RNA sequence: GCAGGGGUGGCAGAGUCUGGCCAAAUGCGGCGGGCUUAGGACCCGUUCCCUUUGUGGGUGCGUGAGUUCAAAUCUCACCCCCUGCACCA
């Protein structure tokens, strides 16, 4: 068995010593590969390997195809995670400490991780180490961390460029907010890690009759405003009359909501009233001026929305039930007014029959058997079903909106209400209540002085859309997701109050948000190693303008910045050379944010020739069907995985075992299977000396034919990044072919060496250490990593021979089956007769293939066979509709090939084998022989 | 809800774009056999059902319908699963 770790260390050292992956511009075409920044506070586990292994496979392949390839990497450290990490260590949080111990991080190191700087330092070092032992062909000189001062200079320049184009805007934005701590809250700041889900709702104003005031109702379904029969308030709650923002209108809303909404609006309370007082009032429906009374709604919660609800008993189970309960109290209640019906033609709702005279809300209550006095949960479930089905099958019956599907009507009516000034937008927490870790209940706040990057800018979007069309996306099916994201991105907040990173140039109080500072970072790889020797203060905008945009000239830039002429020149040349042909690699989860922003920012900042060319995304590596996660404790640290299985088997597994886009499951037995296959190839290389020499036999040509085809198809697959199918053929199939070659009597050292040489070179991109080792075993002394990808020799492809060999295999299969049957029946088989079809059968076969018409073939029949026999044969051939194609081999070829293979067949079957021609055979089964399907006679 | 991906044999996972050579690659697992002191490794056979001196038939690729001489593959509807939905890396 190969000692993987010994072998891997040997070649990693050799690559590092020879600096073959430290690249500079030369006269070859360039190709630059980079993979998403790993975040610097997590040790790498085998789940991380996949993206990098795929990127490296591409890098190594393109290198073999004649490109000068740069593979670069760096680390991401901006934002709050590193700070949060340090805080947790400081608080002696055992969860995180145990996790670090799982990665074998010594306690004394963990102790030092109270210092953020130490964290980034430690993980960037160990991270690099992990990349090195993964055999990635990275130019490590260019590594940087996103919080290094020289990178900040670059980000400042980037934001300057965005600002020049007016893409940075200041505005309002709703966020989850803790009123106690006065801080925005994300998922990580809440109890039980719930994401505060902010929902935009409509609040419709109903004028109070005879009073200069409105009742403000929040609703999810503005389209039902036409069906409002009354309003509901809670008679036991307190309400206030107030103004909202600068409007002159006065509104009644619940007291609780007035304080919740005060984070969104300027609310000025005029007076407090009780719910009871409101019940005496009558309101006017803004859409049809109908008079609607105000009732007590048992389900109305003052903390939800505005604490005022519009009642649509025809379509809302709660409203219907509330009115029924009031009826029992002897209060006269209104008749439901329907606004939509279920579309009869498409209706697949759970309602078995729809009775026109029963309100849908009632129909759904009956369907689920929920009575008027049921629990709120029960009514809630009816509501869910009804809303879902009405939204799917419902069409409006309201005048002016007839037959309009419900979702469309909802939007239209909402827009109308807003533009007429009859409604206002409010934000609610959809999953309220959500609590901050401090215990306070979270509200929605609108922050005013937030800076945004305006991805909604139409001109910008248009450029992105256009460029996206020309980009290569792998796999292609991610395109629709990109397109969707381009449309969906609008304002993105780019300034944060806390965290590591670059100060926001337009307001020094803020830090640039951490996804926004890493959108064009790959460009920095082209010059980062050069800038290591330049003082940070010298990296003024005009330097970057020249390097990335070609603005100005070296002399003046050199004068104003103090940077050496040659350094500037070298930077410009390096960027211009490397950044034209790039491939960005990442996990598929980044399509919706980072990767799309990557395109946006490039398009905004760089000249067109440097825009992104290719994005490759891959699925996750799972462990036993579960995402590898700290909480599940199923993480295999990368270093452990490598020392246990060897990095090459892991690389092959993560690159070639599954379709690139789908998630794959980590399987120890599959990795072992790969080790064994590498071992087989390794041994084959070792044992070349024991093979013979001499003239080439058919089986040698067969192997050459297989090899040539393999190179051809593998090359195509590699070009398509279909690594799975490429390595299926390069690794798995090659071994099956070699095994068959030897079994079939192949024994030619030169042929096998040619075969292995190509296979080993083709393995180089995924299994570089192994390939180097095998390459040297085969007598070479160069680096396989720098060799050329093998060329297919088309003239060695021999379909005829392959068909004949296939015929031999299928004959063996048939014989095995029949022997099995006979022996099960107690008949002993000692001899297998293989009878090759007569020449005339080949002739007729070819004619039929050509004419596709039996009668035409029969018309030309010669004397060697009766028309009766011939037509029977022909009809057998045309059985099934598969088209026949002309045979390349004839009777003689087949006879010779089978004769040659007799020993092979005999050895597999364990029986004596006799090959004969149909015309020479005395067997009664002889006539059953067909071209490439000899008849069998067992005795 | 919106968007994206997916549902194939005991399991994993190809095949779907470009319909036929697909009872469906490959791997794992199971079973039987060989080798071995034994285990591992390795090698051979087998792994939907029926039938058979053969290359035949049936059922079958989430469910239902359709197109076609022919459907895992194309069309439509439905059901189910996974992922993402923003200021968070």
DSSP A387-437: HHHHHHHEEE-STTSTT-BHHHHHHHHHHHHHHTTSEEEEEEETT---BBT
CA of residue A567 relative to chain centroid, distance: 40
Question: Which parts of chain A register pLDDT below 50?
Answer: 879-882
Q: Omega of the bond prior to A194 within 30 degrees of 0, cis?
A: no
Q: Is the CB of A19 under 7 A from strand B?
A: no
pLDDT at A383: 82
- Look at residue A882 in the predicted model and tell me its pLDDT: 41
Check if the beta carbon of residue A393 is closer than 8 Å to that of residue A343.
yes
CB-based burial, A154-180: b 16+ in 10 Å, e otherwise: bbbbbbbbbeeeebbeeeebbbbbbbe
Query: How far apart are alpha carbons A276 and A252 in whole angstroms?
Result: 13
Using the CB atom, is residue A824 less than 7 Å from strand B?
Answer: no
Distance CA A46, CA A42 (A): 12
The protein footprint on chain B, as nucleotides within 7 A of a CB, is: 1-6, 12-15, 20-21, 25-29, 41-46, 52-55, 69, 77-78, 83-89
Per-residue flag: A491 CB under 7 A of strand B: yes
Give the gyration radius of chain A's Cα atoms.
38
Query: Which pLDDT score is estimated for A880?
Result: 40
Per-residue model confidence (pLDDT) at position A349: 60
The verdict on pTM exceeding 0.95 is no
How far apart are alpha carbons A404 and A398 in whole angstroms? 9
Task: Check residue A881 and give its pLDDT.
Answer: 36
**Does ipTM surpass 0.90 in this model?**
no
A831 touches strand B (CB under 7 A): no
**Spatial distance from the CA of A268 to the C1' of B75 (Å):** 60
Is residue A384's beta carbon less than 7 angstroms from any atom in nucleic acid strand B? no
Task: Considering only residues 583-612 of chain A, list those whose CB is below 7 Å from strand B.
Answer: 589, 592-594
Strand partners, A369: none
A535 CB-to-strand B distance under 7 Å:
no
Report in angstroms the alpha-carbon separations of A938 from A31, A615, A838, A905: 62, 60, 19, 14
pLDDT at A541: 95
DSSP A197: -
Which tokens is A911 given?
A: 């029986």
Q: List, for residues A429-439, the tens digit of each pLDDT value.
A: 877 777 777 77
pLDDT of residue A624: 54
Residue A216 near residue A417 (C-beta atoms within 8 A): no
Q: Is the shortest CB-to-strand distance from A882 to strand B under 7 Å?
A: yes
């Amino acid at each position: 068995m190969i000692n993987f770790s010994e072998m891997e260390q040997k070649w990693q050292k050799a690559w590092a010593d020879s600096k073959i992956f430290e690249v500079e511009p030369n006269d070859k075409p360039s190709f630059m590969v980079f993979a998403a920044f790993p975040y610097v506070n997590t040790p790498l586990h085998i789940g991380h390997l996949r993206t990098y292994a795929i990127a490296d496979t591409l890098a190594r392949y393109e290198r073999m195809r004649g490109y000068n390839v740069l593979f670069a990497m760096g680390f991401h450290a901006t934002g709050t995670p590193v700070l949060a990490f340090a805080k947790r260590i400081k608080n002696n949080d055992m969860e995180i400490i145990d996790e670090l111990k799982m990665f074998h991080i010594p306690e004394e190191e963990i102790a030092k991780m109270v210092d953020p700087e130490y964290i980034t330092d430690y993980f960037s070092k160990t991270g690099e180490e992990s990349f090195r032992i993964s055999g990635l062909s990275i130019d490590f000189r260019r590594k940087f961390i996103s919080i290094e001062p020289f990178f900040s200079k670059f980000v400042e320049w980037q934001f300057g460029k965005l600002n020049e184009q007016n893409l940075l805007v200041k505005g309002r934005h709703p966020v989850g907010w803790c009123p106690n701590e006065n801080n925005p809250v994300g998922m990580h700041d809440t109890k039980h890690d719930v994401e505060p889900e902010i929902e935009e709702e409509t609040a419709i104003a109903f004028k109070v009759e005879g009073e200069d005031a409105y009742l403000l109702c929040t609703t999810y379904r503005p389209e039902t405003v036409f069906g409002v029969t009354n309003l509901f308030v809670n008679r036991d709650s307190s309400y206030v009359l107030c103004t909202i923002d600068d409007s002159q209108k006065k509104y009644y809303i619940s007291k609780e909501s007035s304080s919740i909404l005060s984070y969104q609006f300027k609310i000025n309370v005029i007076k407090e009233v009780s719910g009871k007082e409101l019940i005496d009032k009558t309101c006017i429906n803004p859409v049809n001026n109908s008079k609607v009374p105000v009732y007590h709604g048992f389900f109305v919660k003052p903390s939800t929305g505005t604490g005022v609800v519009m009642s649509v008993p025809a379509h809302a189970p709660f409203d219907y039930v509330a009115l029924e309960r009031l009826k029992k109290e002897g209060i006269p209640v209104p008749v439901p007014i329907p606004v939509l019906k279920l579309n009869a033609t498409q209706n697949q709702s759970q309602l078995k029959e729809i009775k026109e005279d029963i309100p849908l809300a009632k129909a759904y209550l009956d369907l689920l058997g929920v009575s008027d006095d049921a629990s709120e949960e029960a009514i809630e479930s009816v509501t869910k079903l009804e809303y879902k089905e009405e939204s799917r099958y419902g069409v409006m019956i309201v005048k002016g909106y007839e037959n309009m599907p419900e979702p469309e009507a909802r939007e239209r009516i909402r827009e109308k209400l807003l533009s007429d000034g009859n409604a206002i937008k409010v934000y609610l927490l959809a999953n309220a209540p959500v609590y901050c870790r401090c215990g306070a209940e979270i509200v929605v706040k609108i922050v005013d002085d937030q800076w945004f990057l305006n991805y909604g800018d139409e001109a910008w979007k248009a450029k992105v859309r256009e460029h996206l069309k020309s980009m290569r996306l792998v796999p292609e099916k991610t395109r629709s997701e990109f397109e969707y994201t381009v449309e969906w991105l609008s304002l993105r907040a780019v300034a944060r109050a806390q965290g590591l990173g670059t100060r926001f140039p337009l307001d020094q109080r803020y830090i640039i948000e951490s996804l926004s500072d890493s959108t064009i970072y790959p460009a920095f790889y082209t010059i980062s190693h050069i800038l290591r020797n330049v003082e940070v203060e010298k990296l003024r905008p005009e330097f970057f303008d020249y390097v990335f945009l070609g603005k100005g000239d070296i002399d003046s830039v050199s004068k104003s910045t103090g940077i050496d002429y040659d350094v500037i020149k070298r930077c410009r040349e390096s960027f211009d050379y490397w950044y034209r042909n790039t491939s960005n690699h990442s996990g598929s989860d980044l399509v919706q944010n980072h990767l799309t922003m990557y395109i946006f920012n490039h398009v905004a900042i760089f000249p067109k020739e440097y825009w992104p060319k290719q994005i490759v995304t891959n699925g996750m590596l799972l462990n036993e069907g579960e995402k590898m996660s700290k909480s599940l404790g199923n993480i295999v640290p990368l270093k452990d995985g490598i020392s246990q299985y060897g990095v090459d088997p892991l690389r092959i597994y993560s690159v070639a075992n599954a379709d690139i886009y789908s998630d794959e499951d980590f399987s120890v037995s599959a990795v072992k299977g790969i080790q064994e296959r590498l071992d087989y190839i390794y041994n084959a290389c070792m044992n070349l000396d024991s093979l013979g020499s001499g003239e080439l036999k058919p089986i040698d040509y067969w192997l050459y034919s297989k090899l040539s085809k393999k190179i051809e198809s593998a090359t195509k697959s590699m070009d398509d990044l279909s690594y799975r199918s490429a390595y299926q053929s390069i690794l798995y199939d090659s071994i099956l072919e070699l095994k068959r070659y030897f079994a079939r009597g192949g024994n030619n050292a030169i042929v096998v060496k040619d075969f292995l040489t190509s296979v080993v070179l083709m393995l180089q991109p995924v299994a570089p250490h192994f390939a180097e080792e095998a390459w040297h075993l085969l007598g070479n002394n160069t680096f396989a990593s720098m060799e050329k990808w093998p060329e297919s020799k088309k003239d060695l492809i021999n379909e005829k021979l392959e068909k004949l060999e296939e015929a031999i295999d299928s004959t063996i299969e048939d014989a095995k089956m029949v022997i099995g049957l006979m022996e099960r029946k107690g008949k002993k088989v000692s001899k297998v007769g293989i009878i090759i079809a007569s020449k005339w059968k080949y002739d007729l076969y070819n004619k039929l293939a050509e004419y596709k018409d039996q009668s035409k073939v029969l018309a030309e029949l010669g004397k060697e066979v009766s028309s009766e026999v011939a037509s029977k044969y022909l009809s057998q051939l045309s059985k099934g509709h598969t088209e026949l194609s002309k045979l390349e081999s004839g009777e003689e070829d087949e006879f010779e090939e089978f004769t040659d293979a007799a020993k092979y067949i005999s050895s597999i079957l364990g029986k004596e084998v006799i090959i004969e021609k149909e015309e020479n055979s005395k067997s009664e089964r002889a006539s059953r022989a067909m071209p490439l399907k000899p008849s069998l006679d067992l005795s």
